[in-house]
Amino acid sequence: MFLGGMDPPHLPTRQESLWVGGQSMQQELPSSRRKSRGRGDCGSSQQAQPVPSSLPAPALSEGAPACRLHSPGPTRAMGAVGILGWRLLLLLLQMVPQAAGARPCSPKYFGRDAMVCVCNATYCDTLDPVVLPALGTYVKYESSKAGKRLERSEGSFQRSLHTPELLLTLNISTLYQHVKGFGGSLSDAAALNILGLSQPAQDNLLRSYFSESGIEYNLIRLPMACSDFSVRPYSYDDIPHDYELKHFRLAEEDVKMKIPLLHRASAMSRRPLSLYASPWTSPAWMKSNGDIRGKGTLKGQAGDKYHKTWANYFIKFLDEYAKHSLTFWAVTAGNEPTAGEIVFYPFQCLGFSPEHQRDFIARDLGPALANSSHRDVRLIILDDQRVMLPYWAQVVLKDPVAASYISGIGIHWYLDFLAPIDLTLSITHHLFPDYFLLSTEASTGSYFWEPRVVLGGWDRGSKYSHSILTNLNNYVTGWTDWNLALNLEGGPNWSKNYVDSPIIVDSSKDVFYKQPMFYHLGHFSKFIPEGSQRMGLAVSKKCRQCELEHSAFLRPDGAVVLVVLNRFPVDVSFGISDPQVGFIEAMAPGDSIQTFLWKQPA
């Protein structure tokens, strides 16, 4: 686990910067200079040279891109303050008003190639709003283990292409599922970490996820009451035998933390946010073991007072959030219902078999939603490991009454290695094409043999992108991360069930670290808006080492998005063919992800 937080003295940063007018003007170092850096360069074994007092101080106290351009040797001082240096300053000052609004990553290293981007109250890297390029041109965004983070470049289509070893050809006449979106979960732990920062740093974190200057999440999953990522076990009604739920109350975690954060995120977002809620457990008095933790199911059977009360608990939750001007796109029938069937299971859970969930929906939850003011809220079944498919869907959806209340199927990623995707997701889609598939939870660092938090771990980001691409290519409509933000330990939570997160908060320094996972998610969430549709993509291979992963989408505005992932350390040359526009000669660097965006003719 890389938690030392020390920058290795032998590891150079990949960019030099000059602070001018409060902005960082960066230039990519040539590859030859990456291998050999003069003493005093940014990221060398010595500290960076201080910025001259006549220039604005850098925004960050930690990891800020605030070193100046200079060359090694006796001429270094002259290069910084001499005539040529000041001419360069004047030139850059003139360029600032025309410069893009995007602010570069402030890098910090926690091991070789283990880079995070540091943000605090006064500085955070940003992105420009997405603007479609002119017809016949394209934009490319690239992130890499070598240090790029959603770096933007432009190019033009060609009329012909040298025969590449790998050619990706779009087929716009073949369209598949529509995309719902991408996002993360506002758990109690995530809310605590966000609110543990100063107000300006909180705003930078929320903007990073939800605004046009960030990666533009549009999905937020919300635990209904406590989860294993709460600091205490609780429910909304702990008064035994309160079948009318007269004592139902939202918790302080909702009213003081999550609801205000949801309003702030919504105000920052250009896109409508879709909220969906998942209950981990019922109150203890409704559960067979009398404890919200551990093996147990709902008392009684479908149609009885316990099941009616539990169904009305959903309605009360939606009612209370509506009083705070927050409405939900969907609810799931319960988080990981199979967990409640596991002996000695240590966390909050409520066990359901597929038969039990089917009957509960048909007799209780479905009618409760349909007869309430929340009849338009979608209902999602399973919300558990995809290894349960297609069996779970077959049991529940082949009942016409239950099926009439259901819109989709939620899946988690933790046991994907036991469940071939073509034998689970693809089969389920073809059996039940009218029900959407949605990835509702994923996190790294969850297996007992793994370190919990790995700062700057590129491979964890690649795992996210691999999962997203394979899911999208098998009819999944969206992908939801687990906690939006955690601390350096991977918590806090009452259960000591720590994991990793795309954003790690160090509240003691009022900073947060954007992990590679954050940027991998951004390659999808920012460029593939809700309503996009996956399109056909033919692959011609002439080499054995062209192991790229990819998926293409037609956006609602008619533009095309292509995401290409290279999980291997070898550069791969490839071509892109859009029969309506032309060809792109491309290269996927080792350990990189790229997003291409271009217009199609009207």
Q: Could you give the residue numbers annotated as active site?
A: 336, 441
Handedness of CA 54, 59, 61, 65 (dihedral sign): negative
- The amino acid at residue 359 is D
Structure tokens given for 563: 């995401």
Q: Could you tell me how many residues make up the chain?
A: 602
Query: Could you tell me which residues are beta bridge partners of residue 437?
Result: 409, 476
Supply the DSSP symbol for 115.
E
CB atoms within 10 A of CB 175: 13
Phi/psi of residue 394, each to 5°? Answer: -65, -40
By 3-state DSSP, what share of the chain in percent is helix, strand and coil, each rounded to 5? 25, 25, 50
Angstrom distance (rounded) from CA 557 to CA 494: 45
Structure tokens given for 199: 């107000």
Angstrom distance (rounded) from CA 28 to CA 130: 22
Query: Could you tell me which residues are beta bridge partners of residue 218?
Result: none
Q: How far is CA 367 from CA 4, 328, 359, in A?
A: 54, 17, 12
Give the burial string for 377-415 (b: 16+ CB within 10 Å, else e): bbbbbbbbbbbbbbebbebbbeeeebbebbebbbbbbbe
Handedness of CA 297, 252, 120, 101 (dihedral sign): positive
Half-sphere exposure (Cβ direction) of 497: Cα atoms closer than 13 Å:
17
- My answer on whether omega of the bond before 492 falls inside 30° of 0, hence cis, is yes
Helix axes 199-210, 259-268, angle to 10 degrees: 60
Q: In what helix (H) or strand (E) does residue 87 lie, and over which residues does it extend? A: helix 83-95
Structure tokens given for 487: 């601390």
Nearest to 532 by CA among 481, 477, 579: 477
Q: How far is CA 562 from CA 366, 471, 524, 595, in A?
A: 39, 15, 10, 6
Three-state secondary structure call for residue 576: strand
Q: How far is CA 144 from CA 117, 140, 148, 508, in A?
A: 13, 13, 5, 29
Supply the DSSP symbol for 289.
T
| 498 neighbors 448 (Cβ within 8 angstroms) | no
| 369 neighbors 329 (Cβ within 8 angstroms) | no
Task: Return the C-alpha torsion angle 396, 401, 404, 407, nearest 10.
Answer: -20
